[in-house]
Amino acid sequence: MKLLVLTTSYPRSDADPSGHFVRAEARALARRGHEVHVVAPGGSLFDVATRDPLVPSLHVHHAGGGALFGWPGAAARARRDPTRLLNALPFAVAARGKTSTIGPFDRAIAHWIVPSAVPLLLGFSAPLEVVGHGADVRLLCGMPAALRCFAVRVLLDRGASFRFAARASLDALACALPAPLASRLERASRVEPVVLDLPDVSTRARVLRASLAPRSREDKLVVAAGRLVAGKRVDLVIEAAAAASMSIVVVGDGPLRGELAALARARGARATFVGLLPRDEALAWIAAADVLVHASKEEAAPTVVREARALGVPVVACAAGDVAAWARRDPGIVVVAPDVRALSAALLAAAAVCS
């Protein structure tokens, strides 16, 4: 089959964390014998398609718009620089043009309901699967009701199926729709976590662990990974690590980095801030940890939790999205209340298990 994947997030290199799960899915489809064409941001609309170096039957067509679409997401990038929104229309025009040039195709997959499915794939006749992620569901739920209902209804009317990365996302969108439309959405939907493609980072993990100061190497190591913004509650993780007398490595960057570093100093935490890293390096730090802590309050299906478990690292988390449901099936995930005492107690319990 000839498949089209239209996405607003796709890695431009192995080090880019953007949309790595979209690439993993596209590669998996190509390995099954399909001819896969991905239309994604980046490059220029005049660029010719490139072949994936690992799977030659996967073709990547860049449509520009890289200033807006990329890590850590279009909304965050637009807030930082509103002029980036000027890239939205050129990207939309280029993506539609690239899609028309690729066609006809047997099936289309739209990662992100808005704008990949609506409006970019409206008007194409191929069967359409729409993949909803946490960010675009939050965007839809924040829209005026009329626009939200239009986006869902027009897709259902053309026979689209929906795949949500988290049950919590499907539930949130259904709750924001009138009952008849919510029922139609439920019938057309399934929940399936995104595809993970993890490199072997075991050797690098040992090197990173050995690079820590002598005291930190002997301590149990906590890792927190994500954007340093209020919703991630990294402040709670730092305070919990300090209370448990455990070292912590913070992977990621964001507007609160300075404030969090000051908090670590004030609490006497043995904290190392390594900043925004290439994906392989971030995964190596997770693999080096004795426990990953994920205290975020605004998540659907946090990839970092699934990555940690795939790497064999236990997770202490706060309930958000599908995390509590995962914990019921996986004893390696412990869900606790979002406060320092509960987090530090869970860290000490995890450390005792690791000893």
Please compute the mean of the pLDDT values over residues 162-191 and round it to a whole number.
98
Residues 6+ apart with CB under 8 A from 80: none
AA letter at 109: I
φ, ψ at 73 (rounded to 5°): 125, 150
Closest CA to 193 of 8, 335, 21: 21
φ, ψ at 281 (rounded to 5°): -70, -40
Residue in this structure with the two tokens 């039957």, named with its chain if needed: 57
Q: How many CA atoms are closer than 13 Å to the CA of 71, on its beta-carbon side?
A: 19
Residue 24 CA to residue 38 CA, distance in Å, equals 12
CB 99 within 8 A of CB 124: yes
- State the virtual CA torsion across 290, 296, 300, 303 in degrees, nearest 10: -30
pLDDT tens for each residue of 45-87: 788 999 999 999 999 999 999 889 888 888 888 888 999 988 9
**What pLDDT is attached to residue 16?**
87
Q: Which domains does the chain have, with CATH numbers?
A: 2-191 (3.40.50.2000), 202-354 (3.40.50.2000)
Contacts 24+ apart (CB under 8 A), 202-209: 202/287, 204/280, 204/281, 204/284, 204/287, 205/284, 205/285, 205/287, 205/288, 206/288, 207/284, 208/284, 208/285, 208/288, 209/288
**What pLDDT is attached to residue 218?**
67
pLDDT tens for each residue of 86-131: 899 999 999 999 999 998 999 999 999 999 999 999 999 999 999 9
pLDDT tens for each residue of 187-236: 999 999 999 999 999 999 999 999 997 766 568 999 999 999 999 999 99
Please compute the mean of the pLDDT values over residues 301-328 and round it to a whole number.
96
Residue 65 CA to residue 4 CA, distance in Å, equals 19
**What pLDDT is attached to residue 215?**
66
pTM listed for this prediction:
0.92
Q: Residue 276's CB: how many other CB atoms inside 10 A?
A: 16
Residue 225 CA to residue 241 CA, distance in Å, equals 14
Strands 107-111 and 161-164, sheet pairing: unpaired
